[in-house]
Structure 1
Amino acid sequence: MPTLTIRTALTGLVLSLLMGTAASAKSHDIELKLRIAAPPPGPRVVALTFDACSGAIDQRILKELVDNHIPATLFVTHRWLKRNATAMAVVMAHPELFQVENHGDQHVPAITDIPSLYGVKTAGSLEAVQREVDGGALAVQQATGKPPRWFRGATAVYSRDALDSIRAAGYSIAGFSLNADMGASLPAATVAKRIAAAKSGDVIIAHINQPGHPAGLGVVEGIQRLVAAGTVFVKLDDVQTQASN
């Protein structure tokens, strides 16, 4: 068989495998979109949301938010809270800026029908989902004095039964419309460009727990570019939002 034909066949096989894997994941899991409902005309209005999964605090991002009085919604896990009391003290000193919500107990995806996603072991049962949600809620309430109203699970992907169960418990689910850093994995320049291109009504997700990753520098630059453009920043509780699959 000629070399070109072999390469074509191999390429087709790889694409078929990748598409099959993606289709399987999509048939099981839901990633919600979330936007600000009917943002007013005029300056762009965006909601910055940050996940703190585990690890440390990215002081580059936290300092940018505090120094420039930029509101944001933080989704924190129990794991992260236990290791970052100093950072939480800064957050709690600025209640006008930060809304703190539930990212779960141990950063376990709220998925019951597949064993893992993106290499992360899933909850596997509704009972485990409930433990993840309740453990995170208790930790947030102990840290802030307020029960959380919003939940964002690890990976921000849910099985349908888990999603229904979490909503039945009274939580709003925090999706997003713009993924700024893909789990803090993108280069700084790419992250900055993504954030700077936000449209009015976007709910932006990024990570504030990876100080060793270049992505954090991109978050800071992207925010600065939005500020320079006159963007209005809001917390999720400040606006009406609209969710969709």
Structure 2
Amino acid sequence: MIKPIAFAAMFATVAIPAFAGTGLLEPSLKMHSEKLQTKGAPIRVAITLDACMGKTDFRILDTLVQEKIPATIFVTARWLKHNSDALAILLAHPDLFEIENHGENHIPAVDKPVSIYGIAAAGSEQAVVQEVEGGRQAIVAATGRQPQWFRGATAKYTTTSMTTINMMGERVAGYSINGDGGSLLGATATSKHIASAKDGDVVISHINQPTHEAGEGVVKGLMALKARGVTFVRLDDPAFNTPSN
């Protein structure tokens, strides 16, 4: 039986700006800042990486393991089918990696017939449900764990599609810093974006484009944050259930 998440918890740290006059929403997500409560509290940053389809950027994955940097990885069913070696690494390090839902076929979870960045949206409530549920089932089969968060392809939604996802028992994962511009930015720009993260920021980048320069930038950005003494957290951190001021 589907159990809805309380909306107060879901949206406690989520602001929802409109997306360029299209009627679509692009949620942002930040942690409640400990600095408002405790002087000298550590800077906390959440690294979230989308594994849309295709291959694995082991430059990023190996760095996360070697440097012991926790991260939340959003995987599609398509990616899981073709990346058993990377999945084995994720499962071997449960202290580092939280695996969450990026959908079944990397279709935007939008319940109206639109195209976003050239990708056709799900187009109906039923199709949104299939995209979310297909991804959930693949993760359960691969990990034995129920995902708690969902991020759709393009990270765009409608109000009603976000409600549908919530009613299916998953929270919509926004972000506050776009690290790699969909993995299309160069190494320098990507590194600069990620390194600029402040306390409470949620960074989005990609871990499925091993031939793109952005992957090099992700690694450099991560190392820059580590050099600053940043504490890396995952989306299962209690901070994401704490209302922000």
Q: Normalized against structure 2, the TM-score is what?
A: 0.87
1:28 aligned partner:
23
Say if 2:24 and 2:157, in contact at 8 Å, map to a contact too: yes
SS for the counterpart of 1:91 is helix
Select the structure that is richer in helix. 1
Q: 1:175 to 1:69 in 2, by over 3 A?
A: same
Pick aligned residue for 1:38 from 26, 33, 54: 33
Q: Do residues 174 (structure 1) and 169 (structure 2) align?
A: no
> Once superposed, what is the RMSD of the aligned Cα atoms?
1.6
Amino acid at match of 2:122: A
Q: 1:24 to 1:90 in 2, by over 3 A?
A: closer
Structure 2 spans left out of the alignment, 5+ residues: 1-17
Say if 2:110 and 2:161, in contact at 8 Å, map to a contact too: yes
Partner Cα distance (2:24, 2:172) in 1 = 14
Q: CA deviation at 1:115?
A: 2.0
Partner Cα distance (1:27, 1:184) in 2 = 23
What pairs with 1:187-202 in structure 2 (closer than 5 Å)?
187-202=186-201
Amino acid at match of 1:66: V
SS for the counterpart of 1:26 is coil
| Identical-residue share of aligned pairs (%) | 49
1:136 aligned partner:
135
Amino acid at match of 2:238: V
SS for the counterpart of 2:146 is coil
Amino acid at match of 2:178: N
Q: CA deviation at 1:157?
A: 0.4
Say if 1:100 and 1:148, in contact at 8 Å, map to a contact too: yes
Question: Which deviations, in whole Å up to 9, do the C-alpha atoms of 1:89-146 show, x marking residues without a partner?
Answer: 0110000000000000000001122421110010000000000000000001111110
Q: Which moved more, 1:156-165 or 1:201-210?
A: 156-165
Amino acid at match of 1:238: D
Q: Do residues 109 (structure 1) and 119 (structure 2) align?
A: no
Rg larger for: 1
Partner Cα distance (1:80, 1:25) in 2 = 30
Q: Do residues 83 (structure 1) and 82 (structure 2) align?
A: yes
Q: CA deviation at 1:37?
A: 1.4
Partner Cα distance (2:104, 2:44) in 1 = 31
SS for the counterpart of 2:21 is helix
Q: Normalized against structure 1, the TM-score is what?
A: 0.87
Any runs of at least 4 consecutive aligned residues in structure 1 with deviations exceeding 4 A, and if so which? none
Q: CA deviation at 1:167?
A: 0.8
Say if 1:35 and 1:243, in contact at 8 Å, map to a contact too: no
Partner Cα distance (2:97, 2:144) in 1 = 14
Amino acid at match of 2:87: M
Partner Cα distance (1:225, 1:167) in 2 = 35
What pairs with 1:1-245 in structure 2 (closer than 5 Å)?
25-40=20-35, 41-241=40-240
Partner Cα distance (1:193, 1:24) in 2 = 24
Partner Cα distance (1:236, 1:190) in 2 = 25
Partner Cα distance (1:238, 1:120) in 2 = 32
